[in-house]
Amino acid sequence: MNERQWQSTDVEVNRSDGTKNSETFTPAPAKDQFQEELVIRPLHSGDIYASFQFRTLWDTDFLQEGQKKVSHYRLFPKSLGQVLSKFSVQELHISFTQGFWRTMQWGQPFIPSPPGAELWVWFHHTVSDVDGNWKELTNVLSGIFCASLNFIDMTNTVQPSASFKPLGLGNATDHRFLRYATLPREIVCTENLTPWKKLLPCGSKAGLAVLMKSEKLFHSSFHSQAVHIRPICQDEQCTSKAWELRQTLNVVFDHYTSGQGKKEWSLFKMFSRTLTEACPLASSSKVYVDITDNPELFELSPATPLLSQAVVLGDRRTYSVYDLTRAETFGQLRSFNLLLRWKGDNMLRPLLHAERYVAGFGLQTGEIHTVIYNNHPYRAFPVLLMDSVPWYLQLYIHTLTVTSKSRDNKPSYIHYQPAKDRHRPHLLEMLIQLPPHSMTEVTVQFERALLKWTEYTPDPNHGFYVGSSVISALVPSMVAMSTNFTQDQPLFSSFVPVKEESSYFVRVYTEPLLVNLPTPDFSMPYNVICLTCTVVAVGYGSFYNLLTRTFQVDEPSPPLAKRLANFIRRIRGVPLLA
């Protein structure tokens, strides 16, 4: 009887597949596609820059009210999809970085990121309580990525008015729906990489992700992993929208500068793995090697006839392309190991780069200096500088000076939001015009606050971090950029939408600052209590005795032993002692 019951349930499901109406069944799953690519770029200093990008495009809409909630996930990770629909997120960008990108030695990265963790989110315009959603979103993301993102709260969140415009579709005017926060102290390690890898459709089992071994990835000068989610147009007229999830991992290996090798490397040497197959779920899986600098001096093996040219970061570069979806790329050994030896070291000098440091002495006051360099020989262009300084460094905005070529340079747009103690950080945004071939210096004085003793971290003598400044600019390009974004472009050149042909968007992050605040001696209360009690007991106590003690003659009572002996003698009837 039981077996028949099991069977009938099965039959019911089969029958209702086609005939039941759509009220109880979701429609057929939406179309989604997955692409992966790896770009390898030898750097001027002899190091290697490897950039992985994994893109999932999904034809669906998380935020449309009329449609049923999305419930069938295929390539898009379910944890992120649920986060997007629950918190009505329009755009989400989160990055975890270990190390600092050295612009002068390495050029511009494909996707910039500041040291530590950075999270910026555009919420949908229907959200009523943005702060509440932000707080819950940071908690949920801290669980997904195993990071302490729950330390993001009102004391380190800002709402930039001009700096972080949406990179996808979106209403760019109302910055009330934008939240930006950074945790410069955040450590990145295997525990962040593990959940990041689990978001990929093939995991770390097939495709390019097999190269991601943590022992090699973290033994590098720079390591950055990021997740970018945004809605994009599928075509020129924007008739249909799709959600794009990009997972990027940038790493710079420093075998040459740390003296471990010659200017030759291979995939096996960098990652301790070779590629054996493309991810079966990927529609395209490619490896690009940048051979623009002196292609004759390169020795690339295995050789490939495929070449491609792309305009990226204002420069036309040539790449050798290896298509992993084709079986012949792997050769007879069914393993793909790229070998490269080169001798040239030319580099395009980056047009924009910046530094930041703290000046001054002592633990009371200081000065923050931000230095921005414009290396273009004849063009001037404006940059947007955004500074978010924690409340315990109290800025004196009346001492703010901007000088270029030792002359005052007045910013054309300033947005300043002062800090509220323990509530809100400082936010300073300025639009500065940089003269050609010049150095611009922005200085502002500050005073260090004394925190309450419970607000200090367990290791306060390490110092307190101030997040990186963000400099966003449209830099004039030497080469005309293509504005047609639906063309089949490699992923690394299509991250930022290009609006004009003559300039490209660049975001430069400065160093984070490490500032010592006046730190109390935490063993002080114990020492003070000991000292005070000793002084009171010995000093005051002796005086008190000397002054108030009086001496009287007293009959001494017999000691206890004598009293006990007398008691026993009384019982025995023997004469008592004196």
Nearer to another protein, 503 or 516 (CB): 516
Q: In the structure encoding, which two tokens stand for residue 447, read together?
A: 């005073």
The reply on whether position 215 binds another protein by CB under 8 A is yes
Residue 136 Cβ vs another protein, minimum distance, rounded to whole Å: 5
Q: Whats the size of the chain, residue-wise?
A: 578
Phi, psi torsion values for 222, nearest 5 degrees = -150, 135
Is residue 560 close enough to count as binding another protein by CB under 8 A? Answer: no
Q: Which is nearer to another protein, 68 or 562 (CB)?
A: 562
Q: Is residue 414 at the binding interface for another protein, with CB under 8 A as the rule?
A: no
C-alpha torsion sign, points 486, 487, 488, 491 = negative
Q: Quote the least distance from Cβ 1 to another protein, whole Å.
A: 9
Interacting residue with another protein among 33, 82, 105, 142 (CB under 8 A): 142
Site string for another protein, 63-102 (x = CB under 8 A): -----------------------------------x----
| Element containing residue 530 per DSSP (H, E) | helix 524-534
For residue 245, the cross-strand partners are 56, 229
**Interface with another protein by CB under 8 A: which range of 119-127, 163-171, 216-224, 548-556?**
216-224
In the set 306, 359, 538, 568, which binds another protein (CB under 8 A)?
A: 568
Distance of CA 203 to the CA centre of its chain: 21
Strands in 438-448's sheet, in edge-to-edge order, are: 352-359, 365-374, 438-448, 393-404, 407-408
Interacting span for another protein (CB under 8 A) from 142-150, 246-254, 318-326, 473-481 = 142-150
In the 3-class helix/strand/coil scheme, how is 178-197 assigned residue by residue? EEEEEECCCCCCHHHHHHHH
**Residue of 131, 191, 421, 447 interacting with another protein (CB under 8 A):** 191
**Using rule CB under 8 A, residue 187 touches another protein:** yes
CB of 125 to another protein, least distance (A): 23
> Which parts of 390-540 are beta strand (E)?
393-404, 407-408, 413-417, 426-434, 438-448, 464-466, 470-476, 503-509, 513-515
Of positions 195, 344, 382, 476, contacts another protein by CB under 8 A: 195
Instruction: Quote the least distance from Cβ 520 to another protein, whole Å.
Output: 13
Q: Tokens in use for 324?
A: 């992993």
Long-range contacts of 494-498 (CB under 8 A, 24+ apart): 495/53, 495/110, 495/111, 495/167, 495/228, 495/246, 496/167, 497/167, 497/168
Nearest distance, CB of residue 141 and another protein, angstroms = 8
Interaction with another protein in 440-469: which residues (CB under 8 A)? 457-459
- Window of 159-167, 213-221, 293-301, 468-476 that interacts with another protein by CB under 8 A: 213-221
Choice from 50, 152, 188, 324 touching another protein (CB under 8 A):
188
According to DSSP, the β-strands at 222-233 and 89-98 are: antiparallel
Among 39, 130, 217, 395, binds another protein (CB under 8 A): 217
Asked if 576 interacts with another protein (CB under 8 A), we say: no
Instruction: Give least dist CB 228 to another protein, A.
Output: 21
Nearer to another protein, 156 or 494 (CB): 156
Helices within 20-129 (DSSP H only): 78-87, 103-106
Which of the stretches 182-190, 286-294, 308-316, 489-497 binds another protein when contact is defined by CB under 8 A?
A: 182-190
Secondary structure of 402-424 in HEC code, one letter for each residue: EEECCEECCCCEEEEECCECCCE
**Contact region with another protein (CB under 8 A), list: 47-55, 144-152, 365-373, 393-401:** 144-152
Alpha-carbon distance of 285 to 323, in angstroms, equals: 6
Instruction: Give residues 517-546 in contact with another protein (rule: CB under 8 A).
Output: 522
Element (H, E) at 568: helix 560-572
Q: What's the CA gap between 298 and 305, in Å, rounded?
A: 14
**318 to 347, contacts with another protein by CB under 8 A?**
none
Residues 49 and 290: beta-carbon distance below 8 Å: no
Of 101-109, 190-198, 291-299, 407-415: span binding another protein (CB under 8 A): 190-198
User: Of 26, 171, 194, 461, which one interacts with another protein (CB under 8 A)?
Assistant: 194
Pairing state of beta strands 365-374 and 438-448?
antiparallel
Nearer to another protein, 213 or 263 (CB): 213
Radius of gyration of the chain (CA): 34
Question: What mask of x and - would describe binding to another protein in positions 109 to 138, judged by CB under 8 A?
Answer: --------------------------xx--
Smallest gap from Cβ 444 to another protein, in A, equals: 29
Minimum CB separation of residue 339 from another protein in Å reads 25
Determine the 3-state secondary structure of 284 from DSSP. Answer: strand
Name the amino acid, one letter, at 316: R
Does the protein bind another protein through residue 269 (CB under 8 A)?
no
- Provide the CA 194 distance to its chain's centre, in angstroms: 16
Sole binder of another protein in the list 126, 150, 260, 532 (CB under 8 A): 150
Asked whether the beta carbons of 227 and 196 are under 8 A apart, the reply is: yes
Angstrom distance (rounded) from CA 283 to CA 289? 20
Q: Which one of 30, 63, 146, 154 is in contact with another protein (CB under 8 A)?
A: 146
CA distance readout (Å), 485 to 55, 309, 493: 15, 15, 10
Residue 315 carries which DSSP code? E
**Which is closer to another protein, CB of 119 or CB of 167?**
119
Q: How far apart are CA 107 and CA 41, in angstroms?
A: 11
The CA-to-CA distance between both ends of the chain, in Å, stands at 106
For another protein, the binding residues (CB under 8 A) are 2-3, 98, 135-136, 139-140, 142-144, 146-148, 150-151, 185, 187-191, 194-195, 213-215, 217-219, 457-459, 522, 561, 565, 568, 577
